[in-house]
A and B are shown apart, each in its own frame.
Chain A
Amino acid sequence: MIQLEDVSKIFESPLKQVEVLIKITLEVKNGEFIVVKGPSGSGKTTLLLSIGGMLRPTSGNIRINDKNIYLLSDRERTKFRALNIGFVFQMFYLIPYLNVLENTMLSGGLKDIGTKRGKALKLAEDLGLSDRVMHRPSELSAGECQRVALARALIHQPEIILADEPTGNLDKENSSEVVRILAHYHQNGGTVIMATHGDDADKIADRIILLNKGEI
């Protein structure tokens, strides 16, 4: 269960203060598929990064399975994230000098290299990347890159996937494929929170949350 209690996030600069999230209260049950929609600048990315332990809220609490993740030390939170959370971003953020297999194995959640490699190869096969495992990101299409990013997020079988506009750079066909993969993960009991502009995932979402100017 993910619980947000009055979570606010303010970004401060020398010239101004920007309130990106305003008193967000939200509960996400285990195994739910939540779609977060809103215009650019509404706070979707900030919300996902906060839930993922990457962005400390200015105020409020965020609990995952009754654990207040921002009361953990940085090291503990890193470890928590490694074991429990998988991120998928619009820009993929693959390491350019690593091949598909190595990018997939990048997750810090699994220590045993043998296990990691086996899982990475299996995932590559499941995601239609078997013949591309030795290719670098520059040699892949956008759709293939996003599937690699998904594989990286899934390899350690996290409880939660946080996907920030994963279809934003993809065509319709690849977007559908990404949503299918997330749906499959959800069907197997995983929790998904997906930020998006489009309606790709509306049909499979348990809930759709509209975010506007930092408020639900």
Chain B
Amino acid sequence: MSSESVSEVTEELSGEAAAADEQEEVAVSNSAKRLDEEGDVAADYLEELLDIADIDGDIDIEVRNGRTYISIVSEDEDNDALKSLVGADGEVLEALQELARLSVLTSTGSRSRLVLDITGYREGRSKELLKIAQEAVAEAKETGHDVALEPMSAYERKIVHDAIADLGLVSESEGEGSNRHIVVSVES
């Protein structure tokens, strides 16, 4: 399940409050140091969890576009223990990201929008999402009808909204909670 605060942020990004988000981006870019600190705090938090659970994984921190990205990867392709931290449909990954963000809030007093990835799950998934967006756009153009997609998390909807906009069509989120999904429409 997607988190509420994430979905609020995402709706802002794709919706009317884009100006507010731009302001936020400027504020964030002014504090690259804070983003570094955020990455360190969250990485320490996650690293100790891996130690306790005796799971192998390398943690990388990257700051780009005013956001902190943390990824946990393994050289061992069959690292099932690390994969269990992704879970079905990334459920565990979302939970860990949520907790890592809270650890930053507790230790720095600032809200974090950090993105956590484990074993490249988000990276692989975003390629799938681009394909889903392309197919939906093609279908909408061909049929002239709206195309409803499967429910997705706020993070994934953001990726798909952006891809659809790049392809020149309009999309909106409909439905509530775990049923929230994207509908692609042909611009009138």
Q: Do A and B come from one complex?
A: no
Residues in B lying within 8 Å of A, measured CB to CB: none
Residues in A lying within 8 Å of B, measured CB to CB: none
